[in-house]
Amino acid sequence: MRNRLRICILLLAMVLVPVCAFGEDKDSGNVPQESHKIYIKLVEKISGSVDLVSSKISEALKANGWEVVGAFYPAVPDMCKFKTKVLIIHNETYWNKIYGVSPYAKFVYPLKINIYSNEQGTNVSLLNPLALNRMISPELESVSLETVKTLAGLLQGAVSGKNVTKEEGQQLDENRIPGIGGGVIEDNVVRIYTAKYKSERLVNTISKYIQRSLTRNKKGYYLVYSIDMPDKGMAFLGISKKELEKTAFSITGENRVTSKNSCPGIDHANSFPLEVVIDATDKNIKVETIRVMFRMKTYFGDTGEAAFVKHYLMPGSIEDEIVYVTYPDIYQQ
């Protein structure tokens, strides 16, 4: 019954949802005031390897107060000869600013950098704080713009290549993702588990339990990073799955393949990993994630309606898997 309802909703969504055009290019190295798309490419045509660029960027981030809490190589499509590496970055000052405005900041954190290669060299792309934070509060425009400018300066200054500002991916102009299956972020939260009492020790116990569950799961999911902020009552776990990464990049790139860009889908690699949040800021401890259909429309909304129709069963099955691999003891079919 659940899957049949999803199918009906998704098919209706394909009729109603407008799809934004991909790839508005701005070749200026200056960050635009009205940057709305989910990804910003900041450097392209770098001659160094993905790993060399990653090392230089990691050093620059560390020297300027940003911690690289995770780094991983998402799986690329089978015929792709190129490589991507994603850095997950954490800064408590930035976190305090966005969480101080909205508790839903936990679903647009942390930021991620995609370092990937193609026919022209190595490229650097950032998840756009202006687009992400627009989903939770209009009051975060100045903080978001300041953060984009700071990170753009760090990333562009760390490596030698062509500095650009190319907005890519889904357009996010306000707090609502258009169409059925979208909506506002607060209506798309999946509660995986609730503990009716709380303590700092219990938050740690839950985090360790989920991490152990991931090591035992047989569905291919793995832990990418963890962020523990016990004094803030918050913990983040980033999880992913190689087959899911590969499939997502194949789908989002299949209609953009050209002779000069044979593996375009990996420019969306910093859509991964998926976040599971442990929140002890209220009277209970909540383990939560974002509804997968909403997440797909946020990070892959530019892919096109035909792809969504073709793969309409994916969001529900992924969501079920996330619940199962994080909390198998309370999972119900």
pLDDT tens, residue by residue, 80-138:
999 999 999 999 999 999 999 999 999 999 999 999 999 999 999 999 999 999 999 99
Non-local CB neighbours of 276 within 8 Å, separated by 6+ positions: 192, 210, 236, 237, 238, 239, 287, 288, 289, 322, 326
Give residue 195's Cα distance to chain centre. 27
46 close to 121: Cβ distance less than 8 angstroms: yes
Q: What is the percentage of the chain residues whose pLDDT exceeds 90? A: 73
The domain that contains 216 carries what CATH number?
3.30.310.70
With residue 68 as reference, give the H or E element that holds it: strand 67-72
- Alpha-carbon gap, residue 57 to 50, rounded angstroms: 10
pLDDT tens for residues 282-332? 889 999 999 999 999 899 988 766 665 566 678 889 999 999 999 876 544
Q: What is the mean pLDDT of residues 49-72?
A: 98
Identity (one letter) of the amino acid at 109?
Answer: Y
Tell me the whole-structure pTM to 2 decimals: 0.88
Predicted local distance difference test score (pLDDT) of residue 333: 37
Q: DSSP of 129-165, one letter per residue?
A: HHHHHHTT-GGGHHHHHHHHHHHHHHHHHHS-SEEEE
Domain residues for the domain of 33 are: 2-330
Into how many domains does the chain fold? 1
Rounded Cα distance between 283 and 156, Å, is 43
- Give me the mean pLDDT over the 14-18 stretch: 36
